[in-house]
């Protein structure tokens, strides 16, 4: 039976200005600069104003009676920085372009070139082929209707596997290492032993599992020869694209914050302060005033156009200023929370800090703090860090004191660094060692932290002695 009825429902909706603010908030400095340029190109009423004559403002940490952070600005100049405020080099591979450039130098038929293009499109950022040759042949048939045999794909793949860097186009680790070691044409006994290990599936499995006694028996070689072969294999690159040189474009990580110790006082600066500020174009604001004096139809259209662009420009400027205020407030809270750590960068002084802690201190939502911490960097006087690295969970010691998980990780790493590599420390032994230092942790907790640092289990850390 059909009936009409009224229902009420609460639904949260964000205003366009709020959405714009949230989008700007999560952008790192470099992306923000690109976004500002894009907005200036779209809106003729926006202009950049040089800030060279404006002193750099350094927000100092001050709290009200409730413990919430407020920022008080004092004037300083850019030369007060204790670190170089330049950009910091990073690397990002233009892998596809590089491989396509190389394939363009090879004498291939049109069909082979198309196969090569399809193969390159299925190579991931580490240089590995992610689809098998049969699947690639099927993909090409469905895309073009032309039949391509698996043998043809294999033939072109073999060509690509000769490209730089060595190991690119491999389908697994063993093939990747094999492609690299085959390029070592030097006649050397240890290289020949290394080739034997990588070529043979059984020997390679023994090597991966550190079954050295079995290897010595199967290879009929001495410990010294096996150690030399192991050293050669470990020098090969398991991720040919992520660790190779000469095939990368230079890009830059621009810190979003600069933090330094000024004679025992921690100060910081938003990086955008060194750039330009946005303002409304005086040319268009003057034009608007002139047009208002004449009420003609054409002028009304022009007035509406300018007003619309002016509102959009004001919204963008407001969102941008609000972003800076939020970032300043959040960083002030982070520094206040871990002031002792920021004085000298001693990891043992880093207190566990959660998103909710900073959200409470700044009267912000947790999602806001998450957006601030995402993809942003802080250049300190003791190194460059992602903002999210300052956040960590708490671990309690025997006295019930809260310790940062980063402190625990640092302790684990130190013990493993000093261990006897012929008898590496098991997770149970690490538990006992940390307990003697006052950190009472379960074995699974130790294993979790060890895994997060990409440290393998004891069996795989064992070395030939």
| pLDDT tens readout for residues 387-443 | 988 887 666 655 666 677 777 888 888 899 888 888 889 989 998 898 888 777 788
- Give residue 14's pLDDT: 55
pLDDT classification of 252: cutoffs 50, 70, 90: low
> Tokens 């492609």, residue?
179
For 245, half-sphere exposure in the C-beta direction (CA atoms, 13 angstrom radius) is 0
Distance of alpha carbon 330 from the chain centroid: 20
Cα 335 from Cα 147, distance rounded (Å)? 63
Measure CA 463 to chain center.
Answer: 32
Buried b / exposed e along 322-358 (16+ C-beta atoms within 10 A): bbeebbbbbbbbbbbbbeebbbeeeeeebbbbebebb
Q: In the structure, what pLDDT confidence band is assigned to residue 263 with cuts at 50, 70 and 90?
A: confident
With cut-offs at 50, 70 and 90, classify the pLDDT of residue 330.
Answer: very high
Q: How confident is the model over 46-70, as a mean pLDDT?
A: 47
When pLDDT is averaged across residues 40-53 and rounded to a whole number, the result is 74
What pLDDT, on the 0 to 100 scale, is given for residue 54? 36
Tokens in use for 407? Answer: 């402190």
Whether the pLDDT of residue 145 is over 80: the answer is no
Distance CA 463, CA 208 (A): 12
Greatest CA separation found in the chain?
99
For residues 122-144, average pLDDT: 84
**What whole-number distance in Å separates Cα of residue 207 and Cα of residue 173?**
13
Of residues 133 and 400, the one with the higher pLDDT is 133
CATH assignment of 393-461? Answer: 1.10.10.60
Full-model pTM: 0.51
* CB-based contact 127:242 (threshold 8 Å): yes
Residues of the chain with pLDDT > 90, as a percent, come to 18
What is the phi/psi pair of residue 409, to 5°? Answer: -60, -40
Per domain, the residue ranges of the chain are 16-84+255-386, 93-160, 173-235, 393-461
Residue (of 342, 330, 334) closest to 372 by Cα position: 330
For residues 443-450, give the mean pLDDT.
Answer: 84
- Provide the 10 A C-beta neighbour count for residue 176: 26
């Amino acid at each position: 039976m059909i009936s009409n009825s009224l229902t009420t429902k609460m639904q949260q909706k964000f205003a366009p200005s709020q959405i714009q603010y949230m989008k700007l908030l999560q952008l790192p400095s470099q992306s923000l600069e690109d976004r500002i340029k894009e907005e200036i190109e779209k809106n003729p009423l926006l202009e950049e104003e040089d800030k060279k004559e404006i002193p750099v403002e350094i927000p100092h940490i001050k709290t009200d009676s409730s413990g919430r952070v407020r920022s008080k600005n004092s004037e300083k100049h850019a030369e007060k920085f204790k670190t170089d405020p330049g950009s910091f080099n990073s690397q990002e591979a233009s892998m596809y372009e590089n491989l396509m450039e190389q394939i363009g130098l090879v004498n291939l038929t049109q069909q082979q070139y198309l196969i090569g293009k399809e193969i390159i499109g299925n190579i991931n950022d580490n240089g590995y082929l992610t689809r098998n040759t049969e699947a690639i042949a099927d993909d090409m048939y469905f895309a073009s209707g032309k039949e391509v045999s698996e043998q043809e794909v294999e033939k072109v793949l073999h060509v690509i596997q000769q490209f730089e860097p060595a190991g690119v186009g491999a389908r697994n680790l063993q093939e990747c290492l094999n492609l690299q070691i085959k390029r070592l044409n030097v006649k050397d006994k240890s290289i020949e032993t290394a080739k034997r290990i990588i070529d043979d599936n059984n020997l390679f499995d023994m090597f991966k599992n550190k079954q050295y006694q079995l290897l010595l028996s199967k290879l009929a070689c001495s410990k010294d020869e096996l150690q030399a072969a192991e050293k050669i294999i470990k020098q090969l690159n398991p991720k040919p694209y992520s660790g190779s040189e000469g095939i990368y474009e230079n890009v830059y990580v621009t810190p979003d914050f600069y933090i330094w110790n000024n004679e025992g006082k921690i100060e910081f600066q938003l990086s955008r302060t060194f750039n330009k500020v946005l303002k409304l174009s005086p040319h268009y604001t003057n034009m608007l005033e002139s047009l208002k004096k004449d009420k003609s139809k054409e002028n009304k259209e022009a007035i509406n156009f300018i007003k619309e662009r002016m509102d959009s420009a004001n919204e963008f400027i407001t969102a941008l200023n609000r972003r800076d205020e939020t970032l300043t407030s959040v960083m002030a809270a982070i520094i206040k929370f871990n002031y002792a750590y920021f004085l000298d960068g001693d990891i043992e002084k880093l207190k566990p800090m959660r998103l909710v802690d900073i959200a409470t201190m700044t009267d912000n939502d947790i999602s806001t703090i998450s957006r601030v911490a995402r993809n942003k960097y802080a250049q300190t006087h003791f190194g460059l860090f992602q903002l999210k690295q300052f956040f960590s969970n708490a671990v309690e010691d025997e006295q019930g004191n809260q310790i940062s998980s980063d402190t625990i990780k640092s302790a684990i790493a130190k013990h493993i660094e000093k261990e006897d590599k012929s008898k590496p420390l098991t997770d149970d032994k690490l538990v006992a060692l940390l307990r003697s230092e006052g950190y009472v942790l379960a074995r699974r907790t130790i294993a979790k932290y060890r895994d997060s640092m990409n440290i393998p289990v004891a069996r795989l850390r064992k070395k030939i002695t």
